[in-house]
Structure 1
Amino acid sequence: MRIIECLIKTLRDSAIFNPEVQVAPSCILWPDKDRQWEAVIPRLQSELAELLVLGDYAPESRMGPAIWLRCVIAGKAPDVTLPADRVPVFYLPGVSRQDLRAIEDCPELLKPLAELQFRGVIWSQVNAKDWTIMAFLKSDQGGMGLDVAQDNEAKNAMQLALYRLLDEELELLKGKRLDKDYFNTLLTGGDPVRDLLQWLDLGDAFQTTRGANEWKAFVEVCKSQLAFNPQADGVLAGASKLATREGPWHSVWERYNEAPKRYPNLPNRIRQCKPPDLGIFDTPAEKLGGWPQWNAEQEQSLQNDLLALNHLPAHDARTRILDLEKTHAPRRELVWTELGESPLAMAIMHLAVMAEVTRTALTAGAVADLQVAYATQGWRADDAVLSALACVSRASDVEAVTMATRAIYLPWLEESARYLQKLVYGTTYPGGGVAETPASYKIDRQCTLFVDGLRLDVARRLSMTLEARGCHVAETMHWAALPSVTATGKAAASPVRTKISGSDDCDDFEPCVAATGQSLKGGYHLKKLLNDNHWKVLERTENGDGQGNAWCEFGDIDSEGHARGWKLAKHIDPLLAEIAERIGALLAAGWNSVRVVTDHGWLLMPGKLPTIQMSKDLTDNKWGRCASIKPGAATSERLYPWYWNPNQQFALADGVSCYGKSVDYNHGGLSLQECLTLDLVVTWAGSTSGKQVAEVTDIAWKGLRCTVGVDGQYANLSLDIRTQAGDPASSVVVSVKPLKDNGTASVVVENEELQGRAAFLVLLSASGELVAEANTVIGGE
């Protein structure tokens, strides 16, 4: 029961009488000589319909002089209607019980009420004294029986906080010491740490949004709990203490870390303060991590160290990167990373993976050995480069990551490409030609989805995204058709490739319909060939009916790569999310499975791939990494047979070089990154396994912070807490958090009023789809 409910009950109970010997009281008189209760009377009137107030005539506020109150009792006041089953309560501010009893001496304006003390009852203590706030809270005879401090500071704070005290639960206050700190905290909204952070963030604007009493209470709470006076010391002194994070300020810092974006001005506040001397000693991150200046210096130092890798051999550069990762990894736990101020600290994590993977050169064994080595570990170097580039935006940071990539990744890439080219030249390319490639299996109710430029590492990301959405993905390794360009590769990935061939005079790598010789350039004749062979061709937004077999094309990876260069790294994940959404729509339309195929991979090198020159006199057509040689032209270039016609040969650039113009992104040559691809066959997980995709196994509350553990396929999932599982608008957390690599995540509920309320933990896919849910109680049971 709330205090206000207890107060109302006590007031009403004072009118209880014995009908055997008494008549019903005409009213309840509530004297309050010191006007202690006056501030909360309007609030009480909202819940106590029979409460009237002695004062100036204002019937709309149920207030009037003594004679008017007499008229109300007599039923002669048409402007007031009282509940028929309640005894009227008359609140008398500035009037004591003694004033009423001294009839001859009481003021004229009060005399009409004097006789009501005999026809009514007076709400008072058992000792006949008026009920003060302190007495009502402390007394165990008609009061609340609470432990209330009686010093003047506590009394003043109690008076100011009375309005909010009324809504407190009596059971929660029993056994608690109600002192000035309690009342001041209550007056400031019950969350002084949040208020302190808001003050540090808003400065003077904070005080203008608070009443005088609230500001005073806020100052008193800070003085008591933090030994800090906001009024006297000022915002910058507080920002400095926050950054130092010592003593009671450590908990303030932890609170800031939970939701730093709620206080956007705080980093600049701290920057206005003078930090400790960062140069005289080596202080770890836990000592200086609260200072954005220190984090900025560490970022600059890391930037300089990465730029210096340009002068080191690859093996020394790898060692240096792994050392830098150990040094800067702790900074990823600091708030500055969440605020986007530590991009290189994030990038070095991925560069360290690149350094570790490239320790193993792909320059030994047969082609089959290279395939295994790349498919198990080597692809992670490509993925790490994309991830590192996705972390940076500023030109200086991009240059630093570029330098590290070129120092380590470029030599590894070059060596593996040259070794593969040496193995393949003069022997048999594992991708073969159309004559050696078996026909596609025509599985009923399967839709084939062609994605241009789905490189192996990117296909692995797509696979993880799909599994997180509840799909089962089967991978099959394939070698792209040579040369690794779309003109050759898309037709080779189609289910009608046995109906396609290449002419002897083709110099643009475009095959044709075998029966008619019509070129497939432009796509019309490929679609017609598919239709003629009973394959439905779905447009970009069509899902089909799930019957028979279908072909569709989706995804802009290759075109984005050519247009954006290294910046493709920043767009990979959104592109994959779109592709995953498309696959989900196709499965939902009734297709039993979706087979994802591609034409080729690609090379990506920030700072541009190396170039080699070839005379225009030797070529009929020259693309990025391949060129068709004029008939009879003498050349020292290695020549390879065209997938569609072995009699037609072309040149491939050595290593990872490009013909002519230097670019960041290219393909058409012979390398593991361009030629070794994955086919993905995607089905709903439920069709192959009854197991749940992801399951919440552990739930731990610490205050309003909830940490969960998840088993199953939790990659790319995020955690939210909602009052209604299916409604994103019912989220109660500061921000939705992605699950970490170990399957855990923590979220914070900031509204303390929700503590004890039932809610749902929900796991969400990258597209926001609900994957799993679990019941919980906010704050713990």
Structure 2
Amino acid sequence: MTTTQAKPTTIAESLIEEIRSEANYNSNVQVAPACILWPDGDRQFEPVIDRLLSEMPELCVLGDYVPDRRTGPAIWLRMVIADRVDETKIPPGKTPVIYLPGIRRQDLRAVDDCPEALKPLAELQYRGSIWSQVNNKDWTILAFLSSKQGGLGLDVAQDNGTKNCLRPSLYRVLDERVDLLENKRLDQDYFNGLLSGGDPIKNLLIWINDPPMYRNECDTNAWNGFAEICKSQFKIDPVADGEIQAAYLLAEQAPPWNAVWDRYAEAPHRYPNIPDQIRKTSPPKSTGLFDDHSGWPQWNDSQEADLLSLLSNVKDQSEQDARKAILDADANHRVRRELVWAELGHSPLAMAAEHLADLARITSESMAGGTAEEVAAAYADQGYKADDAVLSALGCVREDKEFEAVAAAINAIYTPWCEQAALHLQAQVEQHEYPGGSLAELKEREFAPGTCVLFVDGMRYDLGVRLCDLLQERDHEVCSSRGWSTLPSVTASAKAAVTPVSHLVEGADVNEDFYPSIAETGKIADKYNLDKLLADNDWQQITKTEYGDPSGIGWSEIGDIDKKGHQLGWKVARSLNSILQEIVDFIDQLFAVGWNEVQIVTDHGFLLIPSGLPESKLAPSLAVNKWGRCAAIKPGANTQEKLYPWFWNPSQSFALASGVSSYKKRVYTHGGLSVHECVIMGITVTNASVAAGNVQIKSVTWKQLRCTVELLEPVEGIQLDMRTHAGNPTTSEASKIKPFNDKPRCSVIVEDDDLVGHRVFVVIVDSRGNALAQQETVVGGDG
């Protein structure tokens, strides 16, 4: 046998039930009452009568004749009770309820003294029933809420402030659940909170953010309730003190405003005008070392200005001194990365300082030592992190002055580090040979059905590491390998070497664009001819719209990092994560349609020095074609440039710029001989899924709008989402779906304050978004 849990009862439902209960009678000794009279001398319930008319079809009101609202004079009400009015009928089985605004019970008792207009109803007190308190007084809102005899027996404060709030807030009080109020103290703040929306901190922030808008959206009762809440809870009068004083108190963060600040800091983007409101105030004068002015954006601005000056000045320092200055700066400014101003994007240099400090630590260890292979190994182990730190630091800045400061710091410690490693590698290659092999070493490779080879142009080693991390977050099995680009490290020469048909390509005389040739036809191995060669050898062209037949083999190209680098220069740093995400999403689609394995290949890396690569001079008369880092020398030309054999035809040679210099003025370029350009990564990706049975939720806890979920044990590759409908990912209310990162605990923030008190689901999903476990919860907690 199953039982149905009773629906929670609201105050409105309880009020209606109590009124209707007045019609109960003992049929053995009584007759049914003709009606229920509801006297309300102080008109306390009048503000909600329109609502009750919609919920009580038997309710009628004494007043001017408005039959559509079941309202009319006493004689008309007598006719309704007698079922003599065609347009107003009381439903069968219902006892008519007559609401009497402005009429007290004692007014009915003195029949002779009744106003003439009321006398037709006076007699009904004997044939009907009167809904009143046990002491025969009219019901008031306070009495109904607090009385244990015929009322709800709630704990309601008796002070005048609370009494004054009751009538204005009644409309909202009616929707409150009785069971949730039974253990609460209902005072002035509670009722004013209902008037102003039930969330005083949220309302306070909305008002500070846009005072005219908030005032216009409030009716008189709601505004008065909000003002009273501000006075009692936050010690500020919105009318007398104004929003600027409120902004000052918010920035100061002294109790009770610290709770308001914490709420603001959880979702500052919801209140975009608050920083400007705070700027209209001035921080208090400093009194000592422990002053905290972090709530003022002006303070953060001054800190950013100090950091900009420090970073700009490291260009005049030695490498050692520059590194120390950068590390000290990071230590002094790291606290600002945790502040709301960083969240709002107002602390770009503080954010960049973290990555510059990483760069300082990494570049303190030179890569200029050992064989070429040992240099490559050092780069693949730690050195690539310097490249990543440069990109991450550049990705933090937007304005020119910020870029110039960061570029100065990078140039002081990164450029000489790269130069030393490149010169050493070039010397090793000159003494021995280039480790990247030659055409003679290319062999035909076998690929299993269901394999797609994915070409990414310009995927430097550090970006390969980023891509591996993203793929592993999606729960794919990832295996990476280290290799070398061809020389010169340009797409024309290097791309053909990583295709599945490289064994069908050969080199003739080097041409000015460094393209090899298709062996069978002699045509240059550009994109058109390579695509044709792939198709002739059963390689399907896979695109974002054509996923091919996964029982065969496929070739695809996506994520043109190199094109973006040439177009954007240093600003490519802002686009790289979205490019890598696009690659991951594409691989997900390939697996979704049935491909078993994706092999990611690339042609070369790149050098990116934001202040510009050092320039190397090469007379135009000596070169057939001069690229950034390489040049085809005219036959018979006499040059002092170092010449290197071409991968596709060692009898042909070309010049490479020394160190990290460039034949043309460039910020981003490639083609030369350095680990950044020539050490490349290959990635093999296979699909793996998470076993749903391993995921078990231990607890769900709330701190304001932050929900923390703890598992019985950690599971790899899973993420936490918050949804209003567990099975529909489009109903996510989490500010961001968060990975557990192999830990048992994870938290997300719900940005929509309006969801407080509403039921939602925490949902654990795998990398594909498949739900593995879920649990219902209440936003903000059950209490």
Q: TM-score, normalised by structure 2?
A: 0.94
Identical counterparts, % of pairs: 49
**Counterpart position of 1:630:** 634
How far apart are the structure 2 equivalents of 1:157 and 1:601? 70
How far apart are the structure 2 equivalents of 1:59 and 1:638? 103
Preserved CA contact (<8 Å) 1:695 1:712: no
**Counterpart position of 1:101:** 109
Preserved CA contact (<8 Å) 2:695 2:773: no
Q: How does 1:659-674 map to 2 (within 5 A)?
A: 659=663, 661-674=664-677
Letter matched to residue 190 of structure 2: Y
**Counterpart position of 1:117:** 125
Closer, same or farther: CA 771–664 of 1 in aligned 2, 3 Å: farther
**Counterpart position of 1:274:** 282
**Counterpart position of 1:722:** 723
**Counterpart position of 1:382:** 387
How far apart are the structure 2 equivalents of 1:192 and 1:5? 26
What does the per-residue CA deviation read over 1:185-236, in whole Å, with 9 as the maximum and x for residues that have no partner? 2221111111111111112332222122221211111111112111111111
Preserved CA contact (<8 Å) 1:720 1:747: no
Closer, same or farther: CA 771–347 of 1 in aligned 2, 3 Å: farther
**Counterpart position of 1:328:** 333
**Counterpart position of 1:492:** 497
Letter matched to residue 117 of structure 1: Q
Is 2:747 aligned against 1:775? no
How far apart are the structure 1 equivalents of 2:248 and 2:308? 27
Closer, same or farther: CA 29–697 of 1 in aligned 2, 3 Å: closer
Deviation at 1:283, TM superposition (A): 4.8
**Counterpart position of 2:565:** 561
Is 2:604 aligned against 1:603? no
Q: How does 1:147-296 map to 2 (within 5 A)?
A: 147-277=155-285, 281-283=288-290, 287-296=292-301
Q: Secondary structure at the match of 2:209?
A: helix
Letter matched to residue 762 of structure 2: F
**Counterpart position of 2:90:** 82
Closer, same or farther: CA 469–419 of 1 in aligned 2, 3 Å: same
Q: Secondary structure at the match of 2:574?
A: helix
Q: How does 1:512-527 map to 2 (within 5 A)?
A: 512-521=517-526, 523-527=527-531
How far apart are the structure 1 equivalents of 2:774 and 2:684? 31
**Counterpart position of 1:649:** 653
Q: How does 1:18-37 map to 2 (within 5 A)?
A: 18-37=26-45
**Counterpart position of 1:678:** 681
Unaligned runs of 5+ in 1: none
Preserved CA contact (<8 Å) 1:724 1:760: no
Closer, same or farther: CA 538–741 of 1 in aligned 2, 3 Å: closer
What does the per-residue CA deviation read over 1:36-55, in whole Å, with 9 as the maximum and x for residues that have no partner? 11111112112111111000
**Could you tell which deviates more after superposition, 431-440 or 559-568?**
431-440
How far apart are the structure 1 equivalents of 2:542 and 2:224? 69
Is 2:430 aligned against 1:429? no
Is 2:311 aligned against 1:302? no
Is 2:65 aligned against 1:57? yes
Letter matched to residue 114 of structure 1: A
Letter matched to residue 421 of structure 1: Q
Is 2:419 aligned against 1:417? no
How far apart are the structure 2 equivalents of 1:547 and 1:535? 12
Preserved CA contact (<8 Å) 2:726 2:774: no
How far apart are the structure 1 equivalents of 2:198 and 2:507? 78
Task: Tell me which of 734, 739, 757 is aligned to 2:759.
Answer: 757
Q: CA RMSD in A?
A: 2.3
How far apart are the structure 1 equivalents of 2:192 and 2:113? 41
Letter matched to residue 546 of structure 2: E
**Could you tell which deviates more after superposition, 429-438 or 669-678?**
429-438
Q: Secondary structure at the match of 1:57?
A: coil
Q: Secondary structure at the match of 1:86?
A: coil
Is 2:548 aligned against 1:544? yes
**Could you tell which deviates more after superposition, 245-254 or 269-278?**
269-278
What does the per-residue CA deviation read over 1:18-49, in whole Å, with 9 as the maximum and x for residues that have no partner? 11111110000011111111111112112111
Q: Secondary structure at the match of 1:108?
A: coil
Deviation at 1:318, TM superposition (A): 1.2
Q: Secondary structure at the match of 2:431?
A: coil
Preserved CA contact (<8 Å) 2:442 2:502: no
How far apart are the structure 1 equivalents of 2:22 and 2:771? 58
Closer, same or farther: CA 77–175 of 1 in aligned 2, 3 Å: same
Closer, same or farther: CA 409–740 of 1 in aligned 2, 3 Å: farther
Closer, same or farther: CA 93–321 of 1 in aligned 2, 3 Å: same
Closer, same or farther: CA 178–547 of 1 in aligned 2, 3 Å: closer
Closer, same or farther: CA 390–29 of 1 in aligned 2, 3 Å: same
State how many pairs are aligned: 769
Closer, same or farther: CA 342–4 of 1 in aligned 2, 3 Å: same
Deviation at 1:699, TM superposition (A): 3.9
Deviation at 1:764, TM superposition (A): 8.2
Q: Secondary structure at the match of 1:220?
A: helix
**Counterpart position of 2:344:** 339
Q: Secondary structure at the match of 2:638?
A: coil
Q: Secondary structure at the match of 1:316?
A: helix
Deviation at 1:281, TM superposition (A): 4.8
Preserved CA contact (<8 Å) 1:566 1:604: yes
How far apart are the structure 1 equivalents of 2:439 and 2:143? 97
**Counterpart position of 2:749:** 747
**Could you tell which deviates more after superposition, 594-603 or 627-636?**
627-636
Preserved CA contact (<8 Å) 2:510 2:649: no
Is 2:533 aligned against 1:529? yes
How far apart are the structure 2 equivalents of 1:168 and 1:618? 87
Closer, same or farther: CA 154–525 of 1 in aligned 2, 3 Å: closer
How far apart are the structure 2 equivalents of 1:746 and 1:592? 33
Letter matched to residue 760 of structure 1: V
Deviation at 1:282, TM superposition (A): 4.5
How far apart are the structure 1 equivalents of 2:138 and 2:520? 108
Is 2:142 aligned against 1:142? no
**Counterpart position of 2:4:** none
Deviation at 1:248, TM superposition (A): 0.2
Closer, same or farther: CA 489–713 of 1 in aligned 2, 3 Å: farther
**Counterpart position of 2:3:** none
**Could you tell which deviates more after superposition, 33-42 or 303-312?**
33-42
Preserved CA contact (<8 Å) 1:595 1:682: yes
**Counterpart position of 2:733:** 732
How far apart are the structure 1 equivalents of 2:440 and 2:302? 61
Is 2:581 aligned against 1:591? no
Q: Secondary structure at the match of 1:318?
A: helix
Preserved CA contact (<8 Å) 2:723 2:760: no
Closer, same or farther: CA 699–361 of 1 in aligned 2, 3 Å: farther
How far apart are the structure 2 equivalents of 1:173 and 1:485? 73
Preserved CA contact (<8 Å) 2:33 2:128: yes
Closer, same or farther: CA 101–675 of 1 in aligned 2, 3 Å: same
How far apart are the structure 1 equivalents of 2:150 and 2:50? 23
Preserved CA contact (<8 Å) 2:598 2:684: yes
How far apart are the structure 1 equivalents of 2:131 and 2:302? 69
How far apart are the structure 1 equivalents of 2:49 and 2:58? 12
Q: TM-score, normalised by structure 1?
A: 0.94
Q: Secondary structure at the match of 2:29?
A: coil
**Could you tell which deviates more after superposition, 406-415 or 37-46?**
37-46
Closer, same or farther: CA 377–308 of 1 in aligned 2, 3 Å: same
Preserved CA contact (<8 Å) 1:737 1:745: no
Preserved CA contact (<8 Å) 2:267 2:751: no
Letter matched to residue 476 of structure 1: S
Closer, same or farther: CA 378–227 of 1 in aligned 2, 3 Å: same
